[in-house]
């Protein structure tokens, strides 16, 4: 990029500023999401970062690239938002498994839940890959990885993302966080251990690559057919023995094939239920927008955004984000005809 947009932006040209920062907004949003575990909070962080960047154009020196400068500002904007807000978690991290015979509990009113990240909408596929990165870009928005990040203290979280996802040097990270390179290295070691202890196994990207395309299409088609026909036995046939089902914002979750089957029969796939599913990708994983029939409107309306975690060709985990809020970030329609 020439210096023309930067020079014009420094003279107060807002269009030039938009040209300068526009190519990076989507990847900055993904970065802020990893930091905060919330799409909405990430939008706030990026908005604050853009305002700070506009006001601080004079601090953009020739030795700093626009991209690294914006990452520095967005990281610090995210760190400011972390402190006053509760840690984002999944129900599995919140409490023990529930009794499926009792059904789901009431949702929590406080915003403590990790939010889904519809990668097709937010452009995670367009992010540049770095051979020095420990985690690839799509892998670094997976539910398990993002949830593990939320258990790190803010500075450890920032260091691990900047070093292992974005592949910044220890010196660049030290400048961003105003600490020493030695502190970066020691912080990174602690963060890596915590995240490694919390990750369940191979990433979903590795798992999806290990499954042939035809087999993956078969899983999708069988799941849609089973769910839309409320065929619990057919759904259960796709599940691992130790499958887990969680439904944020409900704190209750269920563990094991029998418990999940009992819950499905008693509630979402009970007699008379009518569903339509729309496949998509969320957090780099297989997912389905689930719509249920609404008799007054004679339409299918949003019910849940169900993100699947696979182990081989079996479904290891279903995380169904309930409510229309989960749909707003996906670009899915707000209703489907019969």
Among the candidates 198, 222, 246, a domain finishes at 198
pLDDT of the residue at 125: 61
Question: Is 252 inside any structural domain?
Answer: yes
pLDDT of the residue at 296: 95
Among the candidates 198, 222, 237, a domain finishes at 198
Same domain, 265 and 299: yes
First to last CA, the chain: 50
How many residues does this entry show for the chain? 338
pLDDT of the residue at 1: 44
Same domain, 8 and 75: yes
Alpha-carbon radius of gyration of the chain: 21
pLDDT of the residue at 111: 78
Same domain, 166 and 285: no
Same domain, 185 and 231: no
* Secondary element (H or E) of residue 64: none
> What are the tokens at 318?
């279903």
Question: Is 243 inside any structural domain?
Answer: yes
Question: Is 244 inside any structural domain?
Answer: yes
Q: Is 86 helix (H, G, I), strand (E, B) or coil?
A: coil
Query: Domain total for the chain?
Result: 2
CA distances, 73 to each of 47, 117, 262, 336 (Å): 11, 22, 49, 41
Interatomic CA distance for residues 308 and 312, integer angstroms: 12
Same domain, 58 and 169: yes
Question: Is 90 inside any structural domain?
Answer: no
Among the candidates 146, 165, 198, a domain finishes at 198
Interatomic CA distance for residues 173 and 294, integer angstroms: 51
> What are the tokens at 178?
């105003």
pLDDT of the residue at 279: 96
Nearest-10 crossing angle of helices 39-55, 66-82: 130
Residue range(s) defining the domain that contains residue 233 = 211-337
Same domain, 193 and 227: no
**What beta strand segments (E) does 85-151 contain?**
none
pLDDT along the chain (338 residues), means of 10: 78 93 94 96 97 92 80 97 90 95 88 90 65 89 97 97 96 96 98 96 94 96 98 98 97 98 98 97 96 96 97 97 90 92
Question: Is 93 inside any structural domain?
Answer: no
pLDDT of the residue at 24: 93
* Tokens 């707000």 sit on residue: 334
Same domain, 172 and 238: no
Output the CA angle 275-281-284, nearest 5 degrees: 140
CA dihedral 192, 193, 199, 203 (to 10 degrees): 40
Same domain, 132 and 249: no
Interatomic CA distance for residues 101 and 16, integer angstroms: 60
pLDDT of the residue at 51: 97
Q: What CATH number should be reported for the domain holding residue 258?
A: 3.10.450.50
């Amino acid at each position: 990029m020439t210096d023309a947009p930067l020079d014009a932006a420094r003279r107060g040209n807002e269009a030039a500023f938009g040209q300068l920062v526009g190519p990076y907004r989507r990847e900055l949003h993904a970065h802020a999401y990893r930091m905060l575990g919330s799409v909405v909070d990430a939008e706030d962080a990026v908005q604050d970062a853009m305002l700070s960047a506009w006001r601080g154009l004079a601090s953009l020196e020739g030795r700093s690239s626009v991209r690294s400068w914006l990452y520095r500002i967005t990281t610090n904007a995210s760190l400011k938002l972390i402190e006053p807000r509760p840690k984002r978690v999944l129900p599995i991290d919140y409490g023990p498994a529930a009794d499926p015979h009792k059904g789901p509990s009431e949702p929590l009113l406080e915003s403590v839940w990790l939010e889904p990240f519809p990668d097709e909408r937010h452009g995670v596929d367009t992010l540049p890959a770095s051979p020095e990165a420990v985690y690839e870009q799509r892998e670094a928005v997976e539910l398990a990885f993002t949830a593990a990040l939320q258990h790190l203290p803010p500075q450890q979280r920032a260091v691990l993302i900047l070093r292992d996802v974005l592949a910044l040097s220890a010196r660049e990270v030290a400048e961003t966080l105003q600490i020493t390179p030695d502190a970066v290295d020691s912080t990174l070691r602690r963060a890596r251990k915590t995240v490694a202890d919390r990750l369940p196994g191979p990433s979903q990207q590795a798992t999806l690559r290990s499954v042939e395309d035809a087999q993956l299409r078969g899983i999708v088609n069988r799941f849609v057919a089973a769910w839309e026909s409320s065929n619990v036995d057919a759904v259960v046939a796709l599940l691992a023995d130790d499958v887990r089902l969680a439904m944020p914002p409900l704190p209750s979750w269920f563990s094991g094939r029998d418990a999940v089957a009992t819950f499905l029969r008693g509630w979402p796939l009970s007699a008379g239920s009518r569903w339509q599913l729309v496949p998509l990708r969320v957090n780099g994983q297989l997912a389905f927008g689930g719509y249920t029939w609404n008799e007054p409107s004679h339409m299918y309306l949003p019910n849940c955004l169900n993100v699947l975690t696979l182990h081989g060709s079996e479904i290891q985990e279903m995380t169904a984000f309930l409510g229309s809020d989960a749909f707003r970030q996906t670009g899915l329609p707000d209703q489907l005809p019969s």
